[in-house]
Structure 1
Amino acid sequence: MNFTKSIIAFCAICAFSSCNSTKSTAQASTNSKTYAEISVKEGGKWNGRKYEGGTFKNISDLKVPDTHTDHSFYIRYEGPGWESNKVGYRLYLDWRNAIDIFGKLTDEMVLPQVGQDGFDSYHNMSEWGADILKVGKGLGIGSIGRMVNNEMQHFKEVDSTFAKVDNNKNKSVVNVDYFGWKTNDQKTNLKSELTIFPDERYTKHTIKSSVALDGICTGIVNLYNLPMVQKVSENKKWAYIATYGKQTLFDDNLGMAVFYEVNSAEKVFQGAHDHLIQFKPTSNEITFYFLGAWEKEVNGIKTEAQFYQYLDENLSQLNKSNKLN
């Protein structure tokens, strides 16, 4: 009964805010330092699991079609994107549920033009930058999975998925609601809120599972076998895991990190494809922060020493105020 009511309520919200609105939110980004969007094709048709023809339009809300999967050519760059004047991210809104990084060569908002000149053109370096992270079978950076019998479970079985984007003066937000995510013969409704702020690299990620499940994880993809650095603050309130080195598709230096509350974590360990933080089972909200710092961003972090100094400054801020924003 609660599950049904949740879906009905969400659909009502979508209807109120015009899920299929043709209004482009790109205009709202003109004078902003953050931006979020989701863009889908219209005017074409589904042929099995592929969407053929049509042109992209920006919308504020989306119920992911049941036919949608990876490389369906329906959602521009395969999911919602969000950016600050420092860095951009995208979420694969399909069974992979990984988060990727857009490295930016400009401090302007770039997402409205990404993937407009070819479905995966963002894999090539352009004037604005490129997709710089290879995710493979991992979580990417800061996304969610579940460890079951020492194997990472992604989002291969979900009853329905809804996404919504919102742009405000001081932040941009992506909300994703997964209804009926099934792993290990257990179902949960998982809420995910991803928020980015002006002049910052980090994304604040708040998740909430309707069922207290063991094995819920986040982490950093580890395809280049770089060592993971873990640092716990002296008061043991907050900690981070991080990697730094040549771990981009262009052989550039990239730092990646996840900040987490120590008392929310059950363990930190090495998975098959990722450095992982496993959270304690809870149906309460869990908040953590993740970030990518590319050496080629405007006035970017150029050395490993600078990267870890930057992380330590953020860790100190978390321990003082319990938040970064």
Structure 2
Amino acid sequence: MTMNKLLIAATAACCFLSCKSDKAKSNVDVSENETEVQKILVSRTYAELSVKEGGNWNDGRYEGGHFKNITEFEWPGGLQDHAYYLRYEGPGWENSQVGYRLYLDWRNAIDIFGKKVDTVVLNHVGLDGFDSYHENSEWGQDILKVGKSLGIGSYGRLLGDSVVHFQKVLKTMAKINNADSTSSIDISYAGWQSGSDTVDLATQLTIYPQGRYTKVSLDASKAISGICTGIVKFDSIPLMKKEGQEWGYIATYGAQTLVNEQDQLGMAIFYKKSETQEVKEGDHDHLVVFNSTEEPVTYYFLGAWSQEKTGIKNELEFVKHLDGRLSQLDKNDKL
């Protein structure tokens, strides 16, 4: 069997099972075929989304039950935070260097899974307890304190001095895609209300086998001002900024993880200058605010943890890495 067919077979076997939504597609338990998946997807990419079944809802929270993986998810409105229905609170995606997760509730922030290994780990994360991934383990752990921010690279809308997340949405839909060379998550928000505007927003998050970055595409149903992304702010960590010919980046580096005061993390967002209105400070984030447009907007974000197996160990290495990526974007218009 070819690698391509093995990958497809393993992905189909490992992933995406039943959901409360009638659009969910059930296959097998998340624990089955893990050995084959681990072997095939090592140093490649993986994305998943898991929901609970077999339990009961009680005042907006899901009690009991067990997790199943799904390929598609549809939810009227938005989940409240800490509903205990989605495994690690939303979809996750990874390659050999880093993992990420998005809170698929009103917060809609993106968090970082720091990885000490170069193998697929997300299919094991959070199965033995909802918050177990916050604890140090052999594979790594959740490392970012998101708070009220966008985390790293998520999206919202700047109105005045505040970023509106996804408190008011008619319907949220997500789809997981594991292809031969990439993994991606398509998320659609129907009837997203912010201020006096209501729009549909289609997004795609894509990770590749090499590099720590995720590519993001945002496509709103009409042009509105204030669509933005950002990096969570920490008082002791200064912002770095640099612009090339066509692209620019904002970044932070330092002790900004949940691990300890010596632990180092770098975070960055690469934005296209022609699509960007301004870079500014928000209440909780360093923000990149995009132009009002009916065209899709594309940007990249990345996290670089010092405890990675082949990690960037200091700020000088981090800046060199960012400058190399900036030159590549200016040359090729993509990473």
- Match of residue 69 from structure 1: 80
2:310 maps to 1:299: yes
- Match of residue 174 from structure 1: 185
Change (3 A) 1:229 1:249: same
User: What is the aligned counterpart of 2:254 among 229, 245, 248?
Assistant: 245
Distance 1:175 1:254 in 2: 27
Q: RMSD across aligned C-alpha pairs, in angstroms?
A: 1.6
TM-score, normalised with respect to structure 2: 0.89
Change (3 A) 1:24 1:174: farther
Change (3 A) 1:262 1:29: farther
Distance 1:52 1:67 in 2: 18
Structure 1 position 34, deviation (Å): 0.6
Structure 1 position 179, deviation (Å): 0.3
Structure 1 position 45, deviation (Å): 1.4
Distance 1:24 1:288 in 2: 35
| Deviations 1:165-204 (CA, angstroms, capped at 9, x unpaired) | 1111211001100000000121000011000000210000
Identity across the alignment (%): 52
Question: 8 Å contact 1:20–1:59 — kept in the other structure?
Answer: yes
Which runs of no fewer than 5 residues in structure 2 stay unpaired? 1-18
- Match of residue 231 from structure 2: 220
Question: 8 Å contact 2:271–2:299 — kept in the other structure?
Answer: yes
May I ask how many residue pairs the two structures share in their alignment?
307
- Match of residue 21 from structure 1: 26
Distance 2:48 2:287 in 1: 28
Distance 1:81 1:231 in 2: 29
Distance 2:75 2:59 in 1: 15
User: What is the aligned counterpart of 1:288 among 286, 296, 299?
Assistant: 299
Query: Which secondary structure does the structure 2 equivalent of 1:315 belong to?
Result: helix
TM-score, normalised with respect to structure 1: 0.91
Moved runs in structure 1, 4+ residues, more than 3 A? 23-30
Query: Which secondary structure does the structure 1 equivalent of 2:40 belong to?
Result: coil
- Match of residue 16 from structure 2: none
Structure 1 position 224, deviation (Å): 3.9
Query: Which secondary structure does the structure 2 equivalent of 1:64 belong to?
Result: strand
Query: Which secondary structure does the structure 2 equivalent of 1:142 belong to?
Result: strand
Structure 1 position 223, deviation (Å): 2.6
Question: 8 Å contact 2:45–2:182 — kept in the other structure?
Answer: yes
Amino acid paired to 1:71: H
Question: 8 Å contact 2:78–2:172 — kept in the other structure?
Answer: no
Alignment of 1:11-50 (within 5 A): 19-23=24-28, 28=37, 30-32=39-41, 33-50=44-61
- Match of residue 209 from structure 1: 220
Structure 1 position 22, deviation (Å): 2.8
Structure 1 position 283, deviation (Å): 1.5
Question: 8 Å contact 2:38–2:119 — kept in the other structure?
Answer: no
Distance 1:156 1:239 in 2: 30
Alignment of 1:113-262 (within 5 A): 113-233=124-244, 235=245, 237-251=246-260, 252-262=263-273
- Match of residue 109 from structure 2: 98
Which runs of no fewer than 5 residues in structure 1 stay unpaired? 1-13
Question: 8 Å contact 2:78–2:170 — kept in the other structure?
Answer: no
